[in-house]
């Protein structure tokens, strides 16, 4: 075989590989859309489940997921971004900061069910928050913070040192340089990290399983100390725990969860590409 | 009048002594150029004058630098107020990736000096001072990075002027600019000389000869540490250098 043939064969092989990467995603999305789209109408989105969840809508699950996302965001954004600023701008390279970085890397690799059990032990039982939106949000936040911290730290470090020097030379304090120049420059990267972190939180079942998710609730949550239904857990329930569940309701619920996650993903991508085009250093 | 009085200045990066025994008096409202080959401490010396070296870990200063008779390295002196009095223009034009207006307004804003219409006035005054107003007055809201390199460097000068310093340090301010833009910056420097004490590091002999009133020649001693080999009026340095090394350097006998 001559070298040109080998090259062509190589192209075919890597082409097939890339097809294999994308095919499952397309198939999953397509099958969910085909089987679930017919279930989705305004009633499905805006009413409570009825007849043992076999009919009616999924409003409490949607609302619950938004509550959890909001609660998680409130906790993980300040902590995650604050930690990133500290690590990138202030922390000296000591054994302590190295340990923090190591912890962040390792936290990102912990299975989500472990976070769920940790949340149960610490927030639900020890701190007596009960199974509640607050306990579930805290658990999701702990899972999300490492993602936000590491992406934000990277974004902050990517801003040229020069800007900090210039800021100092004009009489700015370190914080003024960070606040007025570095953070605005790093913002798109930080926002992307936040959205990607929340994205993972939105789709997780295991961390909320013992900490805040309810099988079925007849009314919407009113305070942060109420338990709540949530899309991923609801999906798990109606696909495994309820016999005789209409298939299109299951797929419809999956489709809503998918749309929520996809739209967050699209927002993150748009923000990133918009700012990347504007950046000139 | 001596604006900056430097005596027996030693500077260390860790254990390496980068400057040895620099003693010089910088004249007020004059332009002083610092010349000499790369790596002999000119920029390091410049950065001592507004304590920009403080940001580098493991550096140490010995000797004295007096600004109007006040020791800038004494415990009681405040770095921020020092940098308001001694501004700096860097080698590469480095405006912030913000609007022209925000760039010039940065200093007055962080220092809490001016607000509202006062701020707009200060920005205009500074841009006029940097000979840039006519070119940018209609695009103050535009991104500063859309300006040409020469304009960007004059913007950086305007940004320094806006803080109303007494001394302006310039570290090879024209090395990234074409000859036309360079000439405009040199014209600007001569205009600024009326109000400010200017110290410029340059590798361009003609530039030093053209713009400066005083010149200092840096060289390395036998321990490879930077020294101020000769200092005098620009005319004397360039026409009757006392030091053989100065003569060899300015006549191009060294690389």
Residues B237, B217 contacting (CB under 8 angstroms): yes
Contacts of A160 (CB under 8 A, 6+ apart): A281
Residue B251's pLDDT is: 85
Contacts of A274 (CB under 8 A, 6+ apart): A188
Among B95, B106, B159, the residue to mutate for chain A (most A Cβ within 10 A):
B106
Place B254 in a pLDDT band, splitting at 50, 70 and 90.
Answer: low
Q: Domain range holding B241?
A: 2-95+167-250
A38-42, A119-123, A164-168, B181-185: which range is least confident on average? A38-42
Place A243 in a pLDDT band, splitting at 50, 70 and 90.
Answer: confident
Residue B129's pLDDT is: 92
**Which residues of chain A neighbour B164 with C-beta distances below 8 Å?**
none
The residues pairing with B16 across neighbouring beta strands, listed in sequence order, are: B13
- Secondary structure letter of residue B175 according to DSSP: T
Query: How many domains, chain B?
Result: 1
> What distance lies between CA B221 and its chain's CA centroid?
24
- Type and span of the H or E element at A166: helix A161-169
Residues A134, A224 contacting (CB under 8 angstroms): yes
**Res A280 pLDDT > 90:** no
A54 found inside a domain: no
Mean pLDDT of B217-226: 92
- Which residue is listed with tokens 């993980």? A76
- Cα angle A43-A47-A50, degrees, rounded to a multiple of 5: 105
A212 found inside a domain: yes
Residue A214's pLDDT is: 83
Residue B48's pLDDT is: 95
**Which residues of chain A neighbour B50 with C-beta distances below 8 Å?**
169
- Which residue is listed with tokens 């890339």? A18
B11 found inside a domain: yes
Residue B116's pLDDT is: 74
Residues B63, B245 contacting (CB under 8 angstroms): no
CA distance A44 to A62: 11
Number of residues in chain B: 255
- Residue A32, number of CB atoms within 10 A of its CB: 20
- Domain CATH number, residue B6: 3.40.50.300
B145 found inside a domain: no
Mean pLDDT of B165-183: 93
B150 found inside a domain: no
- Secondary structure letter of residue B224 according to DSSP: S
**Res A279 pLDDT > 70:** no
A180 touches chain B (CB under 8 A): yes
Chain A residue nearest residue B160, CA to CA: A170
Place A278 in a pLDDT band, splitting at 50, 70 and 90.
Answer: low
**Res A54 pLDDT > 80:** no
- What is the ipTM for the molecules in this complex? 0.86
**Res A22 pLDDT > 60:** yes
Among A171, A186, A275, the residue to mutate for chain B (most B Cβ within 10 A):
A171
CA distance B255 to B40: 14
Residues A215, A241 contacting (CB under 8 angstroms): yes
CB pairs under 8 A between A and B: 58
> What distance lies between CA A153 and its chain's CA centroid?
18
Residue A267's pLDDT is: 86
Average pLDDT, rounded, for chain B:
92
Residues B101, B137 contacting (CB under 8 angstroms): no
Mean pLDDT of B173-178: 91
A267 found inside a domain: yes
B141 found inside a domain: no
Residue B156's pLDDT is: 96
Residues A225, A129 contacting (CB under 8 angstroms): yes
- Domain CATH number, residue A180: 1.10.3720.10
Q: Domain range holding A241?
A: 60-278
**Res B255 pLDDT > 60:** no
CA distance B162 to B156: 10
Chain B residue nearest residue A279, CA to CA: B97
Residue A215's pLDDT is: 83
**Res B4 pLDDT > 70:** yes
Average pLDDT, rounded, for chain A:
89
Residue A200's pLDDT is: 87
A94-103, A107-116, A213-222: which range is least confident on average? A213-222
Residue A180's pLDDT is: 93
- For residues B24 and B77, the model is more confident at B24
B155 found inside a domain: no
Q: Would you call A170 and B50 a contact, using CB atoms and an 8 Å cutoff?
A: no
**Res A38 pLDDT > 90:** no
Q: Would you call A170 and B160 a contact, using CB atoms and an 8 Å cutoff?
A: yes
Partner-chain residue, chosen from A170, A180, A281, that has the shortest CB–CB distance to B159: A170
Q: In angstroms, what separates the C-alpha of B112 from chain A's closest C-alpha?
A: 10
**Res B239 pLDDT > 70:** yes
**Res A75 pLDDT > 70:** yes
A205 found inside a domain: yes
**Which residues of chain B neighbour A169 with C-beta distances below 8 Å?**
50, 52, 83, 87-88, 90
Residue A53's pLDDT is: 77
Residues B153, B180 contacting (CB under 8 angstroms): no
The token duo for B144 is 């500063």
CB contact residues (below 8 A), chain B span 161-220, against chain A: 163
A100 found inside a domain: yes
Residue A270's pLDDT is: 87
Chain B residue nearest residue A182, CA to CA: B96
A168 touches chain B (CB under 8 A): yes
**Res B214 pLDDT > 90:** yes
pTM above 0.80, yes or no: yes
B81 touches chain A (CB under 8 A): yes
Place A72 in a pLDDT band, splitting at 50, 70 and 90.
Answer: very high
For chain A, give the percent of residues with pLDDT over 90: 47
């Amino acid at each position: 075989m001559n070298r040109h043939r080998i090259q062509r064969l190589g192209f075919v092989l890597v082409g097939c590989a890339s097809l294999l990467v994308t095919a499952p995603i397309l198939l999953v999305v397509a099958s969910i859309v085909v089987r679930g789209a017919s279930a989705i109408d305004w009633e499905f989105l805006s009413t409570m489940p009825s007849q043992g969840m076999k009919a009616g809508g999924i409003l409490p699950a949607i609302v619950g997921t938004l509550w959890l996302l909001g609660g998680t965001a409130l906790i993980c954004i300040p902590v995650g971004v604050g930690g990133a600023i500290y690590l990138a701008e202030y922390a000296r390279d000591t054994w302590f900061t190295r340990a923090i970085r190591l912890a962040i890397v390792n936290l990102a690799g912990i299975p989500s069910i472990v976070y769920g059990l940790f949340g149960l032990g610490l927030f639900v039982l020890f701190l007596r928050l009960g199974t509640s939106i607050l306990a579930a949000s805290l658990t999701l936040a702990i899972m999300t913070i490492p993602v936000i911290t590491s992406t934000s730290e990277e974004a902050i470090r990517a801003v040229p040192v020069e800007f900090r020097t210039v800021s100092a030379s004009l009489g700015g304090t370190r914080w003024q340089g960070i606040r007025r120049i570095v953070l605005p420059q790093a913002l798109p990267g930080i926002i992307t990290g936040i959205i990607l972190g929340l994205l993972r939180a939105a789709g997780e079942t295991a961390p909320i399983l013992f900490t805040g998710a309810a099988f079925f609730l007849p009314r919407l949550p009113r305070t942060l100390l109420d338990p709540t239904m949530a899309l991923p857990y609801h999906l798990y329930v109606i696909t495994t725990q309820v016999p005789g569940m209409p298939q299109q309701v299951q797929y419809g619920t999956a489709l809503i969860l998918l749309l929520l996650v996809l739209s967050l993903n699209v927002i993150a991508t748009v923000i990133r590409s918009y700012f990347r085009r504007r950046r000139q250093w | 009048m001596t604006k900056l009085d430097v005596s027996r200045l030693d500077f260390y990066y860790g254990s390496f002594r980068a400057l040895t025994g620099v003693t010089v008096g910088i004249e007020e409202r004059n332009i002083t150029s610092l010349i000499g080959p790369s790596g002999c401490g000119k920029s390091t010396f410049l950065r001592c004058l507004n304590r920009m070296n403080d940001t580098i870990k493991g550096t140490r200063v010995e000797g004295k630098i007096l600004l109007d008779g006040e020791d800038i390295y004494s415990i009681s002196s405040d770095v921020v107020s020092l940098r308001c009095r001694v501004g700096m223009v860097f080698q590469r034009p480095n405006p912030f990736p913000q609007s022209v207006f925000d760039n010039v307004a940065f200093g007055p804003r962080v220092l809490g000096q001016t607000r509202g219409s006062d701020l707009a006035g200060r920005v205009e005054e500074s841009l006029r001072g940097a000979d840039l107003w006519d070119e940018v007055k209609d695009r103050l809201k535009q991104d500063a990075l859309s300006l040409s390199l020469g304009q960007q460097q004059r913007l950086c000068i305007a940004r320094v002027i806006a803080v109303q310093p007494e001394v302006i340090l310039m570290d090879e301010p024209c090395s990234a600019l074409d000859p036309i833009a360079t000439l405009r910056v040199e014209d600007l420097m001569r205009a600024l000389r009326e109000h400010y004490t200017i110290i410029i590091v340059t590798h361009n002999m003609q530039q030093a000869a053209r713009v400066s009133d005083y010149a200092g020649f840096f060289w390395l001693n036998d321990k490879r540490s930077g020294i101020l080999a000769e200092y005098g009026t620009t005319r004397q340095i360039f026409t009757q250098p006392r030091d053989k090394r100065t003569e060899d350097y300015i006549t191009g006998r060294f690389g």
